[in-house]
Amino acid sequence: MDLYHDIMDVLGNVKDPEIDTVSVLDLGMIEAVNEVDGIVQVNVLPTFMGCPALDILRKNIETSIQDVKGVQKVTVTFLKFPHWTSERITEKGRENLKKFGIAPPPKTLGPEGHWSVNCPYCDSAYTTIENLFGPTACRSILYCKACKNPFEAMKPISTIM
Ligand SMILES: [Zn+2]
């Protein structure tokens, strides 16, 4: 089981290519890791199928795990099911998103899917969505009326939506 723990340690250092403060583990993207005689199979849930960084992510995961002593072969598979949801992000992941200036996705949604987040800088709830379409389809640009900073928010993704 040591090898498994080494692999999980390494995954804790593999970052989302677009958000380099948060590991794939803390984003809740790792659905399963199976290791038999040094042959490693990693099942990954893409956070958003539309995001372009999957090839980079696959390479990052493969090369990181390949470096673990005792690993012979690594295969990364992206799963379409189960769907990744923003509830999978760990508490540590949510904190690290804030360090990157991204408000973590809200845990609950209001009526009609309305959602709001607190400013990652000053924690004010007095924020407004400036532009629903951020730099990637996964993120939105918001504006904090309290500290006057623009910031990004991760859209809430839930299987219920
Ligand atoms: Zn603020």
The predicted pLDDT at position 40 comes to 97
Mean of pLDDT values over 77-103: 91
Domains of the chain and any CATH numbers:
2-78 (3.30.300.130), 102-154 (no CATH)
φ and ψ at residue 130, rounded to 5 degrees = -80, -45
Per-residue pLDDT, averaged over 28-45, amounts to 96
- Residue 134 CA to ligand 1 centre (angstroms): 18
For ligand 1, the distance from its centroid to the CA atom of residue 127, given in whole angstroms, is 8
Separation of CA 146 and ligand 1 centre (Å): 5
Those residues whose C-beta lies under 8 Å from the C-beta of residue 91, and which sit 6 or more positions away, are none
Whole-angstrom distance, CA of residue 35 vs CA of residue 8: 11
SS3 161: coil
The DSSP 8-state label assigned to residue 118 in this structure reads -
**Whether the Cβ atoms of residue 141 and residue 131 lie closer than 8 Å to each other:** yes
- Average pLDDT on 94-121 reads 84
